[in-house]
Amino acid sequence: MVIRKGSIYWVDFSPGKGSEPKGKRLGLVIQNNILNESKLNTVLMVAITSTMKFGELPGNVVLRKGEASLSKKCVINVTQ
């Protein structure tokens, strides 16, 4: 599998602690493709949530239904 910056994948964020994202949810790859194509075994991602209250926080990005092929309105959550 070739992981690319800007791609969205299902990710298991378990076990989350405190307010960290938990469980299976969509994640957005934010790591650059140079690192994605390297021999590193990690990928930097941020969680996507349907909890719209996170859309009010600075830095988070609200996505409309249908945007990025999402079935409902969601938030890219960079604050956790």
The reported pLDDT for the residue numbered 20 is 79
Residue type present at position 3: I
Q: Kindly give the confidence (pLDDT) of every residue in the chain, 80 residues in length, as a single tens digit, with 9 standing for 90 and above.
A: 789 999 999 999 888 788 778 889 999 999 999 999 999 889 999 999 999 999 999 999 999 999 989 999 999 999 87
Residue keyed to tokens 């945007």:
67
The reported pLDDT for the residue numbered 12 is 92
The reported pLDDT for the residue numbered 58 is 96
Residue type present at position 57: L
Residue keyed to tokens 């926080």:
57
Q: What is the pTM of this model?
A: 0.86
The reported pLDDT for the residue numbered 1 is 79
